[in-house]
Structure 1
């Protein structure tokens, strides 16, 4: 966003002031460039014909005002993005990584989950370095905008003198800043350098004296990486991201090695493409449930009943748009014979013309379904529905654990699938198309969904009235 804002302003500036170069070339015999022409005018020399024509005719007061407004507006937008979004986010990131740094030094407690002190230390330094780069970029932006403003004030004064018009109301420009602008900014773009994409290998040309001073500061405890002077914001962020990946992959790989599964139950056959499985909504919860469907169970032993709800990818069943619900799966322990010998399952078929965007278990024996019209389009976006279903009224079928190798008789249950309709449960109409995820809080009794208009819709689930608040 910053790159787009600034590039638009700089393209307008370069396009307008490139006219002066063309005028200088068209006046044969003149040996100079736009900077020399402006410096001659600044130091009191006679205005050359191409510069006079450019200031009075090609640029003019109106063109200069538009140019000044465009550059100042872009600088203001970048300032807002930096100080209201980027800088606070990086500070928060630094605080959180600092907490992890402290945890990583507690070896006896956190080393066994893969919180590596060296990797977290590296991520902490890269976070600090990125914060330094953001601060550095903000200062460069402020200086460049100041130089632009001073240059435009001086050019405006020159145009009024050439017309001639009174110049008493014009703020007096700083001649030294005009020289600095013509030398370092006129045909260079320090701000644009910081915002360049990381696709290329071009960095920022660092001042040798500055580099030497930074290297000397390392002895006083400064950042050991002095190459940040030549990196853009994008390059710096890529290095930060790589450090985070290395640091956070270590707990993942460490914990994964310690996970052992006693039993597996495929929820459905694996299709040729895994895309639909990765996007299939799933919800898992545990409640104190009714074990009356279970045989050979010592009910005096306390146990939580598990529910696993998931949408079955359409290509796996002849009849598409089905949701599967399992309960009592994890109450069985393969190492003892005290647990139940069966589990229970049910298939739900979503009504034709609707599709399940997401689902979530809510409190005990309640399922929240987020449905949208499958026939919606950009011209007719359609509506959505949030449906609360009592699972206690569903006809669960007991399945022997001996049939688990047959994917809990998925195709046998297809014939007894329960047809859902919007009158079976508590339904609320959402006058927008919605997207996943569906967030449900049992403790607060609310559900939140995201509409296609990028709004968050918050619903009170336990109230009969349709109370909803929209938030950006």
Structure 2
């Protein structure tokens, strides 16, 4: 018999004890493994869980700071710090439909239901600018900064110098309306430099704000304030390289869901709904049978004009946007001056018109001017004048009228010196800068900067400056004569009341005569400020006319009739000429924004509009992993676009609870020229028992999903989760491009659906039922999730090795 190496216990009791020890050690090992499993790091550390007063419908993280902007269901805009400290709350008075941060995080754009886009300061929420780019709701906003820096031969970053600061002090602000105090709505404090910083684009890198509305219009504005282009997706001309011709398409009832401009400014991806229809003569025989259904489409607009001509556009926008700001200063200044002077003149005439009634009551046939001249000449005072000066007007009333009129004159002089004149001077200089650019036709004619139109606007700016100088002289003379007239009247009242008048200010009799003849019942200041549509010709003496005509021969203004116009009329003409000059670049750039490709993705059930709130979508761009891949247009590393969207359950009969991910669409039109396609897509089937609430592309091709569990119990608090998925690891399928324009591309993926398994991904359970939106910050590595029971949870998406586990 072979020798056994196992020691047999000498007794059964020993065997029993040994077995118990083995069992005990096994249980201890299992408990240790369970304890180790429980101590394993839970993905996405919960930073905090806070209650919120009302449900949130939109949320966006600041790209540069730990700040979260949120829009409530009743359209209040809130700004919170990362620690959930509220900084400010504003209510625009209209429904907020979209928000977007400026790339440097210093201001936020807010889209409203009436098409207005307002810019607010990040520090205090104050309104910086309000622009009406659209006529209907601005559904999607996207503000992108050029990702490339212009470097000179020495390796230094080149910024365009604004020479205005060499010759002028800081630009004036808009004057306040009478009666308003600092902090009133719509007006900036004198110590607040936010508006000036927004307007000063000299230190900014080139950036563009894209806005899309529910009627299919997309607007582009440089620095968020200077409109430079517009396109409507209803009528598109798309080239189909497979058939070698252009196809004119119509998107009927088109509504934009999402716009996203690439970091190199070369492409704009547009996700929209609409009925796609082609021209009957060019329609394919293989179109979708039956009536054309409402579909979800992906468009690529070719915006390389922004990249190719960004230097020229930057310089034009830098000057023109500042001119527009200063035009607003001039317009408000003239309006404020007109109101103040009109109110003062109303009070003056209201008080002195009673003298006319008294003259009639006393049976006299003279005028007030004649009665005052008689008083000035030392004649006997008529009963009407005596009653007017002593009883009707009185010393106190005269002083009040004098204070009102002379005070208004001084206020007007202050507005001219502090606001109007500096603004017009800087406008003239900046117009001259644009005029210099327009003469470089080889570079600037291509973007529509017309030399003749700029010359005309520059001349109008010069004429306006002359008008301001004339207005200041007339205003000073009128105020002086009013003051002299009131001084004489006050002395006359004292004499009529037999009171001493030695301490009163002296007066000039000749100026009193001039006032009574030319100013008592006339208003040259108000005439110059008149904003009515009626043309009031200002009288110009013959000598001045001849001098203007002589100056025109030596390079002066070609229009020799400008002094006959009022100040307000001259301003309106200057503004009109400037807008006309800017319309050419606007239309030129708009025509160069082309539709590079159109891809029908899937049909959807008929609905008025598809919004990101009930139709989660996300678009982002990432640099190619290989450094050798370079964009042939920009010469920089090429970008790959990723588009992620939830597929409605009623889209296809055999596809439900799916999310689509597509990439490579922006380069597809170029590749089609070479007979190949770079467009790829994949359909992800979510786990049973879960549905997608929202999604967001993160960084490095990662996608964050927010899923809700399907609960069978009404008392359940919720069974949701947040998950990150690496898109590059998915089995993308190349999408073919046929000559049939109107075929749903996701049909090709029905047989290659990828089933998502939660246990194979980074998943964080959430013990609440969650709702949209999901706010993710790629720059800060955080995500904010909102629960149905009005709670906000902030998670850290970036995990450290020494991170401690947490629990809900």
Q: Which bin holds the TM-score, normalised by the shorter protein?
A: 0.5 to 0.7
Map 1:67-466 onto structure 2 (within 5 A).
67-258=401-592, 260-264=594-598, 286-288=621-623, 302-306=637-641, 328-332=664-668, 333=670, 334-336=672-674, 340-342=678-680, 420-421=771-772, 425=775
255-264 vs 233-242, greater mean Cα deviation: 255-264
Shift of 1:82: 2.0
In structure 1, C-alpha distance between the alignment counterparts of 2:618 and 2:466, rounded to whole Å: 42
1:46 to 336, 358, 380: 380
Aligned length in residues:
365
In structure 2, C-alpha distance between the alignment counterparts of 1:15 and 1:286, rounded to whole Å: 68
Shift of 1:60: 0.6
In structure 2, C-alpha distance between the alignment counterparts of 1:142 and 1:326, rounded to whole Å: 70
Deviations 1:305-337 (A, max 9, x none): 347899xxxxxxxxxxxxx99865424334246
Alignment RMSD (CA, Å) = 4.6
In structure 2, C-alpha distance between the alignment counterparts of 1:145 and 1:309, rounded to whole Å: 68
Over 3 Å counting, the alpha-carbon distance change for 1:129 and 1:365 in structure 2 is farther
Larger relative contact order (Cα-Cα within 8 Å, sequence gap ≥ 6)? 2
Residue of structure 2 equivalent to 1:18: 353
Residue of structure 1 equivalent to 2:122: none
Deviations 1:182-238 (A, max 9, x none): 111110000110111142233333334433333333233321212122212222122
Query: Match of 2:351, SS?
Result: helix
Shift of 1:31: 2.7
User: Is contact 1:348–1:420 with CA below 8 Å preserved after alignment?
Assistant: no
Over 3 Å counting, the alpha-carbon distance change for 1:71 and 1:99 in structure 2 is same
Query: Match of 1:263, SS?
Result: strand
User: Is contact 1:157–1:170 with CA below 8 Å preserved after alignment?
Assistant: yes
User: Is contact 2:661–2:681 with CA below 8 Å preserved after alignment?
Assistant: no
User: Is contact 1:348–1:419 with CA below 8 Å preserved after alignment?
Assistant: no
Over 3 Å counting, the alpha-carbon distance change for 1:124 and 1:290 in structure 2 is same
Stretches of structure 1 lacking an aligned partner (at least 5 in a row): 277-281, 292-297, 311-323, 351-360, 368-389, 410-417, 428-441, 443-472
In structure 1, C-alpha distance between the alignment counterparts of 2:348 and 2:744, rounded to whole Å: 67
In structure 2, C-alpha distance between the alignment counterparts of 1:272 and 1:200, rounded to whole Å: 50
User: Is contact 1:327–1:344 with CA below 8 Å preserved after alignment?
Assistant: no
In structure 1, C-alpha distance between the alignment counterparts of 2:702 and 2:405, rounded to whole Å: 57
User: Is contact 2:662–2:679 with CA below 8 Å preserved after alignment?
Assistant: no
Over 3 Å counting, the alpha-carbon distance change for 1:326 and 1:123 in structure 2 is farther
Residue of structure 2 equivalent to 1:8: 343
Deviations 1:410-460 (A, max 9, x none): xxxxxxxx96457x5479xxxxxxxxxxxxxx9xxxxxxxxxxxxxxxxxx
Over 3 Å counting, the alpha-carbon distance change for 1:2 and 1:107 in structure 2 is same
Structure with greater helix share of residues: 1
Shift of 1:273: 10
Structure with greater strand share of residues: 2
2:399 to 41, 51, 65: 65
Residue of structure 2 equivalent to 1:461: none
Query: Match of 1:167, SS?
Result: coil
Deviations 1:10-46 (A, max 9, x none): 0110010001111111111x23111111111112111
Shift of 1:179: 1.2
Deviations 1:323-379 (A, max 9, x none): x998654243342466632368999979xxxxxxxxxx9998899xxxxxxxxxxxx
User: Is contact 1:193–1:203 with CA below 8 Å preserved after alignment?
Assistant: no
In structure 1, C-alpha distance between the alignment counterparts of 2:513 and 2:373, rounded to whole Å: 7
Over 3 Å counting, the alpha-carbon distance change for 1:420 and 1:132 in structure 2 is farther
Residue of structure 2 equivalent to 1:458: none
User: Is contact 2:449–2:581 with CA below 8 Å preserved after alignment?
Assistant: yes
Point out the structure with max Rg over C-alpha.
Answer: 2
Residue of structure 2 equivalent to 1:415: none
222-231 vs 45-54, greater mean Cα deviation: 222-231
Shift of 1:115: 2.4
Shift of 1:116: 2.3
In structure 1, C-alpha distance between the alignment counterparts of 2:413 and 2:571, rounded to whole Å: 19
In structure 1, C-alpha distance between the alignment counterparts of 2:496 and 2:683, rounded to whole Å: 88
Query: Match of 2:673, SS?
Result: coil
In structure 2, C-alpha distance between the alignment counterparts of 1:70 and 1:248, rounded to whole Å: 42
Stretches of structure 2 lacking an aligned partner (at least 5 in a row): 1-335, 612-616, 632-636, 646-659, 685-690, 704-721, 747-768, 780-808
Deviations 1:142-191 (A, max 9, x none): 11111111111111111111111111110101111111111111100001
Shift of 1:103: 1.6
Query: Match of 2:557, SS?
Result: coil
Q: TM-score, normalised by structure 2?
A: 0.39
In structure 2, C-alpha distance between the alignment counterparts of 1:408 and 1:116, rounded to whole Å: 45
User: Is contact 1:343–1:401 with CA below 8 Å preserved after alignment?
Assistant: no
Over 3 Å counting, the alpha-carbon distance change for 1:304 and 1:59 in structure 2 is same
Shift of 1:245: 2.8
